[in-house]
Structure 1
Amino acid sequence: MTPDELATLAGTLDGVEVVHNAPKWPVKGTRAEKRAERAVAIWFVLAALAGLGFIVAFIAWPHEYVAVGEPGYDWYSSYTPVVGFLFGFSVLALGIGIIAYVKKFFPDEVSVQQRHDGRSDEVDRKTIIAQLASAGKSSDIGRRKLIVRSAGAAAGIFGIGLGIAALGPLIRNPWKGGDDAALWVTGWRPEKGETVYLRRDTGILGEISRVRPEDLEAGSMETVFPYRESERGDDEALLHAQRASDAPVMVIRFRPGTKTIKRQGQENFNFGDYYAFSKVCTHLGCPTSLFEAQDNKILCPCHQSQFLATEFARPIFGPATRALPQLPITVDSEGYFVARSDFIEAVGPAFWERRP
């Protein structure tokens, strides 16, 4: 059977009766038809250009954090709107182009189909391909090279953009460096024998305020960041220490007599009633900024994960499944809190490996 006969058979077997079928352009090659073709192609071209712009912006637009008022802030702050607009416009233009093509070139058809239950039989499944091919043939897609090329360019560039967006975060190898890999090391790791202090953020970058045990009242919590004396006066280093995503740590002072359960291998990570845990939620990386002194629970405001601070910050509610990493701390000869070492496990969400 010819493709047209197979397409007719497909409709018959499906119980479809074509009541009316008239081509949109009975006379081929008219000026009106050419205008309609160009109108559809314009949308596909716009989709391709927007997709290309999305790829360029995703790769080349400045995206590193810049504080308000600093040079380059306007470029940084416009990264997400620009990438979002170009991506959204590419999808919109592609969709409008497809809809416009269907409305302007698909035949006006009215069909009636009888409903039936169950799966289609073998003949129906084979003839449906011929029916789809017949629909494409009746819309004259084969001779509309402008639309085919512009639609192909739009779909191709859009697909490349999706691939880049999906693979972009994977280009950097997080394991590069072995034991010094980014997933293992944080700003709390002592380097060259230099002491790492626990420093509070006073809101003034150059003001150094190191934390002492007497600074915290019983049942309180304070957020701290790593600090080295070599960073004093170095605004860039101080700023990096505060902005690092794995740097924030909460120091908690329990009330005297509070019973705690310590994780095996971390029995000496605390200093008396003082415990230090990462503020990065192990679910999706939100800041666990809330501490309930009444029942010693650490709360994540994003997805309501709860961690019991008196039991090595293990999760007791919500989507988080891993305890908050604990930072080993002690007090130096001057009475300041210092980090004894870096975290012994990776900081961040849903990480499944731990240091021995």
Structure 2
Amino acid sequence: MRDNMGDHSHGGPNDTGTVAKAGPGPLDTFQDPGLPPHRKRLADTDPRAEKRAERQVAWLFVISIIGTLSFFIAYFVIGRTDSISALRTQNMLLGLGTAFAMLGIGVGIVHWAKTLMPDHEVSESRHEIRTEADRQDAAKIIGDVIEETGIKRRPLIRNTIIGAIALAPIPAIFMFRDLDRTGATAGQIVDRLRYTMWDKGVKLVRDPSGTPIKASDVQIGSTFHVIPEGLSETEHPLNEKAKAVVLLMRLDPGKMNISPGREDWHYNGIVAYSKICTHVGCPVALYEQQTHHLLCPCHQSTFDLTQECKVIFGPAGHALPQLPITVDSEGFLVAQSDFTEPVGPSYWERG
């Protein structure tokens, strides 16, 4: 019996018409179906609905203005005391004010586009790019767009959106400017970032108890969260702590890879490094005793303690700054100096 499994002369896809093939003549072209019929909205046919939509859009822009003004009231009036309740109220109003300021503008523009701006579809033929004629056409298109928005003939919407957009960026300006209220110059601000409370002879004390640390208290594998002595007596202890906090650990000196010039920065394997991650400033607080790795919990930057906290993984830009330490006559750990480089993330004048 003849095997016809490989024979496609009868019933194959090329003979049954299931596969379309181009004929010898020109290919047929598809007809342009045209645009779908335009469905008018209620505001297109009812003048009262149009005015109502216009008032709704204006009210949304007014809500944005009220949100911005609420931000100003919370920022400049509330929270001028040290009361926790006042600060909570201020933070709540700052958040709500910013939210309504942005939400009013966004929802107002969307509602304006959906109810009042022309929504008919248009079709334009593609043509070759020309010079002067194209510029004139572009200018005409821009003019048509402005005309279609109806902003010229809708003064209520125009005035409220101008007010909302003009006020919305001002809170951000005040917030950035208020990062420093002392009137310091840019150089003075950079110095504040560069220098900390650490200095020659300043004791290393436990955070938060303030107990001084003896070298004999630090065992291999142990970790201490450390601040400079006298931190609580400063005018702005939290600001100073944000720059000066360090991690204190002890390693086997034989496992340490020490750079030239840093030979005396440690004491019998006891080392101190800035706790502030060099990526975005999160506190580095996880120490793997077996691998001698320090980890930042925010973005998983990893620093190798045996290589002077060199970055071995993650987005951090450079190693953690090391604090040179020694011991005093009583055996307490003290700093030899301040950090020799700025702590924390990179900034515009670092280095």
Q: TM-score, normalised by structure 2?
A: 0.76
Please say if 1:199 is aligned against 2:205: yes
User: Which of 251, 258, 262 pairs up with 2:248?
Assistant: 251
- Unpaired runs of 5+ residues, structure 1, are 1-14, 65-70
Contact 1:260–1:310 (CA<8 Å) still a contact in 2? yes
| Counterpart check, 1:106 vs 2:117 | yes
From 161, 165, 169, the counterpart of 2:171: 161
Per the alignment, residue 101 of structure 2 pairs with 90
CA apart distance, 1:251: 1.0
Please give the residue correspondences for 1:117-266 in structure 2 after superposition, counting only pairs within 5 Å.
123=133, 126-138=136-148, 140-165=150-175, 168-169=178-179, 173=184, 175-177=186-188, 181-190=191-200, 195-201=201-207, 208-228=210-230, 236-237=233-234, 240=237, 244-255=241-252, 257-266=253-262
Distance 1:269 1:182 in 2: 24
Amino acid at match of 1:295: T
Bigger Cα displacement from structure 2, 272-281 vs 75-84 = 75-84
Following the alignment from structure 1 to structure 2, what is the Cα–Cα distance between the partners of residues 21 and 338?
Answer: 80
State the SS of the aligned residue for 2:120: strand
Match of 1:297 in 2: 293
Q: Secondary structure at the match of 2:307?
A: coil
Change (3 A) 1:254 1:63: farther
- Using the TM superposition, give the Cα deviation of residue 320 of structure 1 relative to its aligned residue in structure 2, in angstroms: 1.1
How do 1:315-354 residues align onto structure 2 when only pairs under 5 Å count?
315-351=311-347
Measured after TM superposition, the shift of residue 227 of structure 1 is 0.5
Distance 1:250 1:352, change over 3 A: farther
In the alignment, the residues of structure 2 paired with residue 226 and residue 37 of structure 1 have an alpha-carbon distance, to the nearest angstrom, of 62
Q: 1:219 to 1:237 in 2, by over 3 A?
A: same
Q: Which amino acid aligns with 2:263?
A: E
Partner secondary structure for residue 303 of structure 1: coil
Contact 1:16 1:111 in 2 (8 A): no
Q: CA deviation at 1:32?
A: 5.6
Deviation of residue 47 (structure 1)? Answer: 0.7
Deviation at 1:322, TM superposition (A): 1.1
For 1:285, the equivalent position in structure 2 comes to 281
Preserved CA contact (<8 Å) 1:189 1:342: yes
Query: Match of 1:310, SS?
Result: helix
Q: One-letter code of the match for 1:212?
A: K
Unaligned runs of 5+ in 2: 1-32
Do the aligned residues in 2 keep the contact of 1:217 with 1:253 (CA within 8 Å)?
yes
What letter is aligned with 2:207? D
Amino acid paired to 2:254 = T
- More relative contact order in 1 or in 2 (CA 8 Å, sep 6+)? 1
Q: Whose strand proportion is higher, 1 or 2?
A: 1
- Aligned counterparts of 2:282 and 2:185: Cα–Cα separation in 1: 20
Q: Distance between the aligned counterparts of 1:154 and 1:130, measured in 2?
A: 28
- Structure 2 residue aligned with 1:271: 267
Determine what percentage of the aligned residue pairs are the same residue.
33
Q: Which amino acid aligns with 1:249?
A: V
